[in-house]
Structure 1
Amino acid sequence: MPRDRTGLAIALMCLVSFIFALQDGFSRVLGAAYPPMVVVMIRYWVFAAFAIALVARQPSGLKRAVRTKRPLTQIARGVILVLETVIMVEAFVRLGLVETHAVFIVYPLLVAALSGPILGERVGWRRWTAIGIGFVGVIFVLNPGGGVMRWEALLPFVSALLFALYGLLTRHVSRDDPTSVSFFWTAVAGATAITILGIREWVWLAPMDWIWMGMLCVLGMTSHYLLIRAYELAEASILQPFAYTQLVWVSFIGVLLFDEVLRPNVVIGAVIVVMAGLFTLWRARVKAA
């Protein structure tokens, strides 16, 4: 692959990580004022419309996107991702952006740990060691001996577990369905599921908050489009390490805009988790090579 294409893909991934951090900031603001179900439901309505419009422009259009060889798995992916999003918004409100992401970044390690039982992949002792070290980092972040351990601290871990399952199921369906099909089903299944679950909690947003919601939806569509473009230009294993830059942007936003505090245990734990995750990604690339 030409170096300029890879460089562009890396730049896009860094930009996507920044946009994701902005999305999280908007989600925290709205999630504190309205039920997270409602915030996510509106986002998914716009996401589904965007996905349908994008897929309709491709060859064979919606007729091809609807045809999947694994409909139940595709639906499960959409439901899992929308539940993960709701839990993340709840975590942003209860824990803040920094601590939520400091735990959530464990998801690549969960992907590695679950790839054996779900996909039948072999995980060697080196990656298992990295996974164990990564969980030590999570314990640092949670600080169970500090007297401040709350059940809310488990929310980002549950979210990371769901996101890992979503990623593994995405790899599973990619053996039979192209990206456009998975993208379509993610949006439509997720929008349907969150509407069924969240419509009973519906409340009208204040006029100013509709502006915030509109900005959140625009950022969501932009980030998804740029992410698709990045993965078209370079392999996921090359781009994944740069996704960790989101933690840096989230930390800036959390500290500067929401007066969050970067506690030493959170910083140390996050560094441990990131280093373990990078090693796991490197070992996966070595094994693939």
Structure 2
Amino acid sequence: MPPKTAPAVDRTGLAILLMCLTCLIFAVQDGFSRVLGQQYPAFLVVMIRYWVFAVFVIAMVSRQPGGLKRAIRTKRPVTQMIRGALLGMETVLMVEAFVRLGLIETHAVFAACPLLIAALSGPILGEKVGWRRWAAIGAGFLGILVILQPGGGVISLESLLPFGAALMFALYGLLTRKVSRDDPSMVSFFWSGVAGAFSVTLFGIWEWQWLAPGDWIWMAALCLFGMTSHYLMIRAYELAEASALQPFAYTQLAWASIIGILAFGDVLRPNVVVGAVIVVAAGLFTLWRQRVRSA
């Protein structure tokens, strides 16, 4: 009689909990970014944050098999550098949007990111996008129009900041999937931090100024929360598949809304609520269709 084997432990529940906690920490660090962005240039805030993030990344990959020598070696160096630059610039746009638009409207528009990934997966990755997903993408963009209310006048440059950030993050995600065919995740993680820090420094160094003593506390909290959130996100993706966790990333919109209202006095306008519901629903449908096709 063959020996009994222990049943596999399903850790998806723990991974979902970690993802929700990660989104809460992301929302809190967005609040820190807004506080600092109101006093200093966005490039300066992101540059200092990325310096610490790069050190964190180097420390993390150094503990992996092969260490830094393995992490540096990539079969797609140009694509990896573009990925890092996109992530860094996306962060700058988000900080600027937090200051100009607030947390609620910024995240409501940024929620279109999965729709942009679905729309661009064809030309970039050669994936086939069916009519159902195209319909969801169209509905999601209608939701964005509801949020921005272009009928009231010309869409302002400020309102396009989170959309530009969502587009950059979508391109970053698609390029990440592209390089994953040749490079392991450790290599991509290394290049995200180092290339991002380098690209942001090219612009941020010209904005250099010393922070006020009290503001260094905010910066330290921002960096600490940033490292913690990325570590928890890595652990979540180690425990469960991305398709199971991605829908819970939308909880960041709820946390950001609560923080925006309580800490900054943001107003939750009805059109933003309606538009955000449309965008999130379209995004969830797109993720579901992608999971069905993968199955």
Q: Same fold (TM over 0.5)?
A: yes
In structure 1, the residue matched to 2:106 is 100
Max Rg structure: 2
1:37 aligns with 2:14: no
The DSSP-based 3-state class of the residue aligned with 1:90 is helix
1:61 aligns with 2:67: yes
In structure 2, the residue matched to 1:48 is 54
In structure 2, the residue matched to 1:89 is 95
1:120 aligns with 2:120: no
Return the letter of the residue paired with 2:16.
Answer: I
1:8 aligns with 2:14: yes
The one of 211, 217, 237 aligned to 2:243: 237
The DSSP-based 3-state class of the residue aligned with 1:244 is helix
Q: What is the CA distance between 1:147 and its match in structure 2?
A: 4.3
- 1:214–1:271 distance in 2 versus 1, CA, 3 Å: same
Of 193-202 and 134-143, more deviation after overlay is shown by 193-202
Question: Using the alignment, how far apart are the partners of 2:55 and 2:157 within structure 1?
Answer: 36
Aligned positions of 1:1-289 closer than 5 A: 4-147=10-153, 149-289=155-295
Ranges in structure 2 where 5+ consecutive residues have no aligned partner: 1-6
Question: Using the alignment, how far apart are the partners of 2:149 and 2:269 within structure 1?
Answer: 10
Moved over 6 A (4+): none
How much is the aligned-residue C-alpha RMSD, in angstroms? 1.1
Ranges in structure 1 where 5+ consecutive residues have no aligned partner: none
Question: Using the alignment, how far apart are the partners of 2:154 and 2:276 within structure 1?
Answer: 18
Question: Using the alignment, how far apart are the partners of 1:196 and 1:90 within structure 2?
Answer: 18
Return the letter of the residue paired with 2:152.
Answer: G
TM-superposition CA deviations, 1:240-276 (whole Å, max 9, x none): 0000000000000000110000000000000000000
Return the letter of the residue paired with 1:287.
Answer: R
Question: Using the alignment, how far apart are the partners of 2:28 and 2:224 within structure 1?
Answer: 11
- 1:210–1:124 distance in 2 versus 1, CA, 3 Å: same
Question: Using the alignment, how far apart are the partners of 1:148 and 1:213 within structure 2?
Answer: 36
Of 140-149 and 7-16, more deviation after overlay is shown by 140-149
Q: What is the CA distance between 1:156 and its match in structure 2?
A: 0.5
TM-superposition CA deviations, 1:37-69 (whole Å, max 9, x none): 000000000000000001001111001000000
TM-score by length of 2: 0.96
Return the letter of the residue paired with 2:254.
Answer: V
Q: What is the CA distance between 1:3 and its match in structure 2?
A: 6.1
TM-score by length of 1: 0.98
TM-superposition CA deviations, 1:182-238 (whole Å, max 9, x none): 000010001111111110110100000000000000000000001011111111111
Question: Using the alignment, how far apart are the partners of 1:256 and 1:4 within structure 2?
Answer: 37
Question: Using the alignment, how far apart are the partners of 2:201 and 2:60 within structure 1?
Answer: 21
TM-superposition CA deviations, 1:106-146 (whole Å, max 9, x none): 00000000000000000000000000000000000001123
Return the letter of the residue paired with 1:130.
Answer: A
